[in-house]
Amino acid sequence: MGAAAAEMAVAIHQVLATLGYGDAIGHEVLGIQRVLRHAGYDSEIFVQTADPRHEDLTLDYRELPDASHPDNILIHHFSIGSRASRLAYALPDRMVLIYHNITPPEYFVDVNQELVRLCFRGRRELALYKSRCDFALGDSEYNRQELEALGFSPSGVLDVVPGFDHLRGPADYAFAGAFDDDWVNVLFVGRVIPNKRFEDVIRAFHAYKTFFNPRSRLLLVGAHSGFERYLTMLHEFIARIGARDVHLVGHVSNEELTAYYELADVFVCASEHEGFCVPLIESFHMGVPVLAYAATAVPVTMDGGGILYTTKDPLYIAALINAVVDDRELTDRIVEGQYAALDRLEAKDFGGTLLRHIDAVLAAPRRVHPPVAFDFWDQVDRAEELDEIKAHRPSAFLALPLEQR
């Protein structure tokens, strides 16, 4: 229990742009709330949006000012620019910032212009929090180093320790059963977005199927909502290079995801930008040997497990796939190493680490918060009015000049 929890006067709330279902940030947010409540703190989750399956666990971020107090701590999950972030900035609470990383906006040019704008704004806004937050945490050492490079101090790490309950239920083979045969199944799991470099996985698989094993297929599992243009580009790429047996499965349930992991012979990741990359750890848990491109947070996440590669040469990656699939002893050694890395991750004291950081913030001298614009709260009221117009009179909202929306 945190040293200050006995006072019971301090509340520790969380605020973030959106609470997703089944993703790394969502797992961490809910885990933090469990730890804080168990330690005796009043703790709520304030969001701008939430997955419908989590809405009953959250409060609207616009209710946060009523819960705010200078003695409280506000844990601000920063992953993209948002109104929730800007509201948190203006409140008097002490702040612990948890950085989940923001994908560089250049990955989304010509694919999703709104995300280009949000990522650019988010990376620009992040620097403003150097003087606002009392403590900055990365959810991986890679993210902490990025904070340190930006000038955040003090900084620390609150490691993501993913839960695997979503993979422990009965597998659903209604669709995946079509791939349950003697062919080699190459798997990648991740949202269909450009930084994941799906085309590099496809290129490597095409080389593997052409030069090593014609009885193989590629299973690409992940939602593509908002990235339909990138999905179309991938289909065109597949047709252009003549790749066969590439299946873009789309979004699946947890039970279906379990089935795809159970069917996989090897997991191949070519992502160029990750703050953590939970599917790598899911593969470890499911006993699937992992090959991953050694970029950004991936080497730290793998922690000596799996196989890292540093070239995008498709024939080289294809040869790695072949070596792993063809050598049972090698596969067993890789999986053993992955289990050892997973044991090290799960042994980390998530709750104790969090509470030690909280105690350090409460024990430290209070920082002077930077001033906010004199008309900030007028702007908040104006934004709420525009939301009402957009929701109930969309034609009137669209008739407003762009600079007023």
Number of domains present in the structure of the chain: 2
Q: Does residue 211 fall inside a structural domain?
A: yes
**156 plus 182 within the same structural domain:** no
Q: Does residue 29 fall inside a structural domain?
A: yes
Cβ neighbours of residue 280 closer than 8 Å, sequence gap 6 or more: 267, 269, 290, 292, 298, 301, 302, 306
| Residue that terminates a domain, selected from 346, 361, 382 | 346
**98 plus 169 within the same structural domain:** no
262, 291 Cβ separation under 8 angstroms = no
Residue 363 has pLDDT above 90, yes or no: yes
> What is residue 404's predicted lDDT score, i.e. its pLDDT?
60
- pLDDT 10s digits, 36-57: 999 999 999 999 998 888 889 9
**85 plus 125 within the same structural domain:** yes
Q: What's the whole-number average pLDDT of the chain? A: 91
**185 plus 287 within the same structural domain:** yes
15, 88 Cβ separation under 8 angstroms = yes
Percent of the residues in the chain that have a pLDDT greater than 90, as a whole number = 72
**218 plus 292 within the same structural domain:** yes
> Whole-prediction pTM value?
0.86
Q: Does residue 71 fall inside a structural domain?
A: yes
**317 plus 280 within the same structural domain:** yes
Give the CATH number, domain containing residue 266: 3.40.50.2000
Taking CA atoms, 128 is separated from 81, 122, 187, 335, in Å, by: 12, 10, 40, 43
Q: Does residue 216 fall inside a structural domain?
A: yes
Q: Does residue 404 fall inside a structural domain?
A: no
d(CA 129, CA 151): 10
What average pLDDT does range 158-174 have in this prediction?
90
DSSP-derived 3-state class of residue 8: coil
- pLDDT 10s digits, 1-36: 454 444 457 999 999 998 887 677 888 899 999 999
Please spell the DSSP secondary structure of 341-352, one letter per residue: HHHHHHTS-HHH
Tokens found for residue 117? 């704008």
Give the domain extent around 37: 5-161+349-372
**213 plus 336 within the same structural domain:** yes
**353 plus 342 within the same structural domain:** no
Q: Does residue 132 fall inside a structural domain?
A: yes
Q: Does residue 401 fall inside a structural domain?
A: no
> What is residue 243's predicted lDDT score, i.e. its pLDDT?
98
**195 plus 293 within the same structural domain:** yes
Q: Does residue 387 fall inside a structural domain?
A: no
> What is residue 386's predicted lDDT score, i.e. its pLDDT?
67
d(CA 66, CA 100): 27
**70 plus 186 within the same structural domain:** no
- pLDDT 10s digits, 318-345: 999 999 999 999 999 999 999 999 999 9
- pLDDT 10s digits, 267-294: 999 999 998 999 999 999 999 999 999 9
> What is residue 254's predicted lDDT score, i.e. its pLDDT?
92
- pLDDT 10s digits, 184-219: 999 999 999 999 999 999 999 999 999 999 999 999
**39 plus 79 within the same structural domain:** yes
What average pLDDT does range 97-118 have in this prediction?
91
**141 plus 268 within the same structural domain:** no
> What is residue 370's predicted lDDT score, i.e. its pLDDT?
82
